[in-house]
Amino acid sequence: MSLTLILGGARSGKSNFALSLAKDKREVTFVATALPLDEEMKERIERHKRERPLYWKTVEEPLDLLSVVKDLDSEIIILDCLTMWVSNLLERHIDEEIIGMAEDIAEYCRKFNGEVIAISNEVGLGIVPEYPLGRRYRDLLGKVNQVFARYSNKVFFMIAGIPLEVKDESK
């Protein structure tokens, strides 16, 4: 029973690191939150699928992560990614609802009879977004990341493909 959070910037190696943590496991479910809204995103999703072992189960769920996780019975679940999940919810829910959903998911994942690896971008290291929606998104994702970090047994921060251990409750 453990929850691991992997944070980092775009193309920092988060997904590859998550894949490496699960590579020796037989029962892995990859929960993808991205919506294929354009051709570039469709190709990106297909490329990511090809990077995963064929025997891994893939579930595509852009909104209701809690229901999906509750229905799964896997040795490891990889949630990729919270960044897209928050983006998908942004115009459907108010911030407090999204943070509440994150609390429910993180709490459930912490108790899950197996391992859950959640991936998210750290978007608070750059410039302040110019527009209100961008600032709302940055702030909300930061709060969701804090929720998951609080519930996680382990937290890693990725920099240029190198995982830096931020939290490990087993030590």
| 163: DSSP letter | E
Token look-up 């960044």 returns 83
CB 45 within 8 A of CB 36: yes
Which residues lie below 8 Å from residue 15, measured CB to CB, with a gap of 6+?
Answer: 48, 51, 80, 81, 119
Sheet holding 2-8, edge to edge: 57-60, 28-32, 76-80, 115-121, 2-8, 154-159, 162-168
Catalytic residues: 48
Q: In whole angstroms, give the CA distance from residue 120 to residue 80.
A: 7
CB 158 within 8 A of CB 7: yes
137 SS3 class: helix
